[in-house]
Amino acid sequence: MKYHTVIEKLPQELVREDQLELLLRERAIRLAADLLRQGELVAFPTETVYGLGADATRSEAVAQIFLAKGRPQDNPLIVHIAREEQLKQIIAGPLPPLAEELIKTFWPGPLTIIVNKNEAIPPVITAGLDSVAVRMPAHPVARALITAAGIPLAAPSANLSGTPSPTLATHVWTDLQGRIPLIIDGGPARIGIESTVIDLRAQTPLILRPGGLSRERLEAVLGIELEVAAEITAEEEKPLSPGMKYRHYSPATPLLLNNFDRAEQLAEISEQYRDKRIALVVTAETARGLEHLANNFKVVVMGSRSSPAGIAANLFAILRELDHLKLDKIIVEMIPETGIGMAVMNRLHRASKVE
């Protein structure tokens, strides 16, 4: 244990957009900004998931992120900014026209754009690529922290590599205690799933990672249909990028997906897992038909089928909770891939992959 990790909790009434001035004066923010300027790591809330920040202009500071998370070196990081002027420190050349449109509409918010990188960005952030990922988070604590530190922050999700992203400060504690000096607790991350990553460098933009901002909303603003990058299988990718072959977003308990759309499926599950300890993670609508199984299985409601955003907000916390129970299997209901449902299913597919 290198550090005695401290959690600083901010008063909930200050975690608001209109309280930025007061937030900047909070001890936790000033302490965190000092640590970041000294090259240390700080975990902080964003509206998507908690991030693990380091000074993006210093290689030695950024290198600590990979060590603390156990993150493969070949997986590049997102640079977080609080004001548009900070883009100048990061990007090479002018913004692509589509980027301007998206920034105007969706920043601050759960959108990360890939642009050409400028020389000030150390290669450790981008895993040697000539592009860089940039995002302006909307969370008031993230904005206050970046502003107080006065530097852009390189920040991945604040979990150990491979586990579900943290949506609460306690999740960060579980994964990173002893590895970092400070966690700022700003309450639950509202969206609960990571930002959407879009590459705007080519003629046709490409969604590299579905996330908190839906494809439909991006398409409405750009006036074009967007492609989503295909999932790369572990085998294909092996020679290129070994880090990505690991399971992502995964609980330690094996996870299976199921449609729960036929009564026979339930009968099959009951039969197959008769003597096993199983959790069924389902929508409220499906749960109503499962009451007779409540003695055999743990049934957890992840939200309503009519609100994929609600499901996104709960998902990672549920997977982490269930992991504590050391079950034989977690079976999760599939939801339609519309809106943020696409990001939810993307994470679930990856979590269900066997190494």
> Residues interacting with ligand TXA, by CB under 6 A?
46, 48-49, 51, 75-78, 112, 114, 126, 129, 131-133, 135, 137, 155-157, 194-195, 197, 208-209
Size of the site for Mg ion (CB under 5 A): 1
Regarding 196 and contact with Mg ion (CB under 5 A), the answer is no
Stretch that binds Mg ion, among 151-159, 287-295, 334-342, 347-355 (CB under 5 A): 151-159
The three-class DSSP label of residue 223 is coil
The length of the chain is: 355
| Residue 129 interacting entry, from ligand TXA, Mg ion, none, C-beta within 5 to 8 Å by type | ligand TXA
Q: In whole angstroms, how close is the CB of 130 to ligand TXA at the nearest point?
A: 8
Roughly what angle, to the nearest 10 degrees, separates helices 341-352 and 308-324? 30
| Residue 195 interacting entry, from Mg ion, ligand TXA, none, C-beta within 5 to 8 Å by type | ligand TXA
Q: In whole angstroms, how close is the CB of 308 to ligand TXA at the nearest point?
A: 17
| Residue 122 interacting entry, from Mg ion, ligand TXA, none, C-beta within 5 to 8 Å by type | none
The DSSP code for 165 is P
Q: For residue 243, which of 229, 252, 232 has the smallest C-alpha distance?
A: 232
Q: What angle do CA 348, 194, 305 make, to 5 degrees?
A: 50
Where would I find the beta strands (DSSP E) of the chain? 6-9, 42-44, 51-55, 78-80, 111-116, 131-135, 153-154, 182-185, 196-199, 206-209, 227-228, 255-258, 278-283, 298-303, 329-333
| Residue 312 interacting entry, from Mg ion, ligand TXA, none, C-beta within 5 to 8 Å by type | none
Regarding 195 and contact with Mg ion (CB under 5 A), the answer is no
C-alpha neighbours within 13 Å on the C-beta side of residue 94: 4
Q: Residues 64, 157, 195, 214: which binds Mg ion (CB under 5 A)?
A: 157
Q: In whole angstroms, how close is the CB of 43 to Mg ion at the nearest point?
A: 13
